[in-house]
Amino acid sequence: MAESLSITASAVDPGLLQLPWSTGLADWPSSHIVALPKGISRHLVRFANLSGRVVAIKETTEEMARREYDMLGNLDRLAAPCVDRVAVIAGRTDASGRPLPAALVTAHLKFSLPYRALFTQVLRPHTATRLVDALAVLLVRLHNVGFYWGDVSLSNTLFRRDAGEFAAYLVDAETGELHGNRLTPGQRAHDLDIARTNIAGEIMDLEAGGRLEGGVDAIAIADGLVSSYHSLWGALTDKETFAVDESWRITERVHRLNALGFDIGEMSIKTASDGTQVSIQPKVVDAGHHQRRLLRLTGLDVEENQARRLLNDLDEFRARVSRLGADEEMVAHEWLTRVFEPIVMAIPFDLRAKLEPAEVFHQVLEHRWYMSQARGRSVPLAEVVTSYIDDVLRHRRDEATVMGPPTDTMSLATIADAAAPATGEVPTTDTDVIDWRDLV
């Protein structure tokens, strides 16, 4: 190892010293590399094992690596959804003393998926819509803390399943700028324009590869992001005026934001000089309303929609066991040990990499509803879990380590090559009982 090697790390990990930094990333031995699907990228990116976990390593300039490392740290402190930084490796030289590019190391976001990994053969319209809706929420959250992205795209985003929807995470911050206050309307509009252009191009790229189902309009999908963004941004920031005897609308505004998954940390309230009207406008809005409540009650740290679904089941459990007057924390503990944990522990060990526990629980509840509808009666939960494992979960691919590098595309088999699918895909044959696309 070269004496000039400089490692800046967010946490001490001796495993960093064991990686072959004196070798160009393209020539790293297979013993260090994790074989995950990858494609074209602005930078060379590979995945490696680091102390029993998967990390993404990107070669770039030292200045850009340190800038992005600092930016990811700042975003993490602001609780913005993004990948975790691990280290910057600078001062690299090969065996002959020739300089090598610096490297940025980020942690693998477990159970996350690049957008191209969310389908095997053809992208369906509903999936595309859910992806851009998740990206719109991410963009609103980033803009709300004063972050200008500068390169908004599906490729620069990772997605995690979130109770039938998706949660989006920023994975590439090298073009971003963090401003102390909220962004100007012009900055937000520019980010939206970049997003619309990039997303339309990415969807059209899928179309050119024959991976769009009929009825998917790339421009309409991109426009949908802009519409979703404006709708959510307005709900969070718009000023509202009402008569002084309609003060209940303050509570209504708070509940409306809670339903969207946000808490109001600070609100501006002004009354007219004649005392006839009141104006309100949220000043500090924090995402994760349901996440925080579930974490407080059970210790489970999950996505927002998953938290909403789990809380609904917890509340139903509370009513079902007639504990409406009981302490909420005690009932939550009872629900955790009697309902949630038995379902999660019932999943065979070899299937636990397919979905994260909260998403499994959500899907079991969905499966119970469909089974009960089909039979016209309530189906015992034990029977539901067995049916879900055998009929649904076993047919899914493992998602714990399905990922793509920042600004990456995946190399997937074409429709004509379905008889010989790429690694990590589910084969599509005439004898398949389940259409994989219905599991996306």
CA–CA distance, 139 with 153 (Å, rounded to integer)? 10
User: Considering just the CA atoms, what is the radius of gyration of the chain in Å?
Assistant: 24
pLDDT of residue 182: 81
Which is it for the CA torsion 162, 166, 167, 172, positive or negative?
Answer: positive
18-57 tens-digit pLDDT:
999 999 999 999 889 886 654 445 788 888 999 888 899 9
**pLDDT at residue 418, as a whole number:** 34
| 262 Cβ neighbours under 8 A, 6+ residues apart | 236, 285, 286, 287, 288, 289
Output phi, psi for 93, to 5 deg. -140, 155
Q: Name the 3-class secondary structure at 379.
A: coil
Joined together, the tokens standing for residue 361 give 């629980």
Between CA 427 and CA 436 the distance in angstroms is 9
Q: What φ, ψ does residue 41 adopt, rounded to 5°?
A: -145, 155
Where the chain has pLDDT below 70, the residues are: 1-3, 35-41, 119-123, 215, 322-325, 400-440
351 vs 146, 225, 381, CA distance in Å? 41, 34, 19
d(CA 212, CA 327): 51
Q: Do the beta carbons of residue 85 and residue 329 sit within 8 Å?
A: no
Inter-CA distances, 413 with 139, 211, 344, 403, Å: 31, 10, 33, 17
Task: Name residue 177's beta-bridge partners.
Answer: 148
Distances (CA, A) of 192 to 135, 159, 227, 233, 344: 11, 19, 10, 12, 40
